[in-house]
Amino acid sequence: MSGQIELTNLGQSFCMNGANVNLFEGLNLTIHQGQSYAITGPSGAGKSSLLMLVSGLESPSSGQVNYVSGGQTRSLDSIRESVGFIFQQFHLLPELTALNNVALPLKLRGDKQAIEKAKTWLNKVGLGHRLNHKPQQMSGGEQQRVAIARALVFEPKFIFADEPTGNLDQKSATDIADLLFACCREHGAGLVVVTHSNTLARRASHQFMLSDGRCDAVSHSYVEEVSA
């Protein structure tokens, strides 16, 4: 059963050098499974903070973030194991091979098929030939593919990506974007991407601009091709 993440009157602030900094307040947004969202805006606007709140990795200063499915409203904790997160810096464990980096989340859950599932996903992201390579033996684009496989290996309901193409060259960035949108579309996951790239943002079915404490919808004409 598909569901959605609902943000209600969301606010986030923090204290810096004795002064209170208010990133945003009163934000209302709904993230549906099976749809893609891009959040853009100037540096310091709070894009990454918003992503951390929507994914349940941080708690808001005010307001609520809930998961709604089948007419029932629950906290995000109820779907914690159904959320995948992709970081700009990859966060792969350097001492582990690509295979074991991807298998680790499943192993921690006691999944006896962890290795086989990890192999399947590394093949899906085009790295079947790099199973036994460690991060330092791979390019940035390859490391990001490993990170994507690790985030999607347990087929989450929602995938969150913070500047997933920010450290990559143009071709690698395009390949990673193709991979993200295809995988999430095929598995009916909700995808939320924070990005400075207008090209990447326009590929999402919904685009929002976070600036001056407001999160406004941005209209665009890009329509992604969907395979028949």
pLDDT tens, residue by residue, 8-30: 999 998 887 888 888 898 999 99
| Confidence (pLDDT) at 47 | 93
pLDDT at 223 over 60: no
CB 72: neighbour CB atoms within 10 A? 11
Residue in this structure with the two tokens 């074991």, named with its chain if needed: 100
For residues 178-186, average pLDDT: 86
For residues 171-197, average pLDDT: 89
The rounded distance, in Å, linking the Cα atoms of 76 and 122 is 28
Number of H helices, E strands in the chain: 6, 10
Single-letter amino acid, residue 161: A
CB 124: neighbour CB atoms within 10 A? 18
* Neighbouring-strand partners of residue 209: 40, 216
Q: What single DSSP character describes residue 43?
A: T
- pLDDT of 120-153, one tens digit each? 999 988 899 999 999 999 998 899 899 999 998 9
The rounded distance, in Å, linking the Cα atoms of 138 and 172 is 13
pTM of the model: 0.87
Ordered by where they begin, the domains of the chain are 4-218 (3.40.50.300)
Residue 219: pLDDT band with limits 50, 70, 90: confident
Q: Across all residues in the chain, what is the average pLDDT?
A: 89
The rounded distance, in Å, linking the Cα atoms of 98 and 94 is 9
- pLDDT of 25-53, one tens digit each? 899 999 999 999 999 999 888 999 999 99
* Neighbouring-strand partners of residue 74: 67
pLDDT at 228 over 90: no
Single-letter amino acid, residue 212: D
pLDDT at 221 over 50: no
CA 188 to chain centre: 14
**Gyration radius of the chain's alpha carbons:** 18
pLDDT at 102 over 50: yes
Give the largest CA-CA distance in the chain. 57
pLDDT at 220 over 70: no
